[in-house]
Amino acid sequence: MISMVVFDSSLVIDALKKKKAARDLIASNAEKERIAITIISKYEILRGTDPKDFNLVTEWLDQFVVYDMDDNALEEIVKAYKKLADKGKLINELDILIAGIASANNEILITTDKDFLNLQSPRITVL
């Protein structure tokens, strides 16, 4: 299986807003390996897209492999949720879904969202 990095919605949205650091990070990873997002991130990105830009953003997202939610991901999501709940440190539900999907696919998740630090995972990079 080819290794990929999974970008969180926050980073992809920054790239779409033409933030140089985010664009450069995605571009440099795309040169070296396949890049991915989760179906949850795709949803978050597209729901916030202006209707006039929808087709352009959809085409741009085509460069990413999109990881879906399956039973394996669901198991990781539930584990992450329970771990956070037990510590009293729940984060946004969609972020838990994204982290669980990335974990189930044994990928590194890259984000700018500091809430992900609560998951305390070596496979999550918070910039």
69: helix, coil or strand?
Answer: coil
Q: Into which CATH architecture does domain 4-126 fall? A: 3-Layer(aba) Sandwich (3.40)
What is the pLDDT, as a whole number, of residue 68?
Answer: 97
Half-sphere exposure of 6 (CA within 13 A, CB side): 26
Q: Cβ distance 49 to 57 under 8 Å?
A: yes
What is the pLDDT, as a whole number, of residue 2?
Answer: 62
Average pLDDT, the chain: 95
Per-residue exposure over 84-112, b if at least 16 CB sit within 10 Å of its own CB, e if not:
beeeeeebeeebbbbbbbbbbbebbbbbb
Q: Cβ distance 54 to 46 under 8 Å?
A: yes
Task: Give the start-end residues of each E strand in the chain.
Answer: 4-7, 34-38, 65-67, 108-111, 124-126
Domain residue limits, the chain: 4-126
Q: How crowded is residue 55: how many other Cβ atoms within 10 Å of its Cβ? A: 10
Q: Does the structure show a pLDDT above 70 at 1? A: no
Pairing of strands 108-111, 4-7: parallel
State how far the Cα of 119 lies from the Cα of 60, in Å rounded to an integer. Answer: 29
Q: pTM for the complete prediction?
A: 0.93
Q: Cβ distance 80 to 116 under 8 Å?
A: no
Q: Give per-residue pLDDT as tens, 62-91.
A: 999 999 999 999 999 999 999 999 999 999
Q: Does the structure show a pLDDT above 90 at 3? A: no
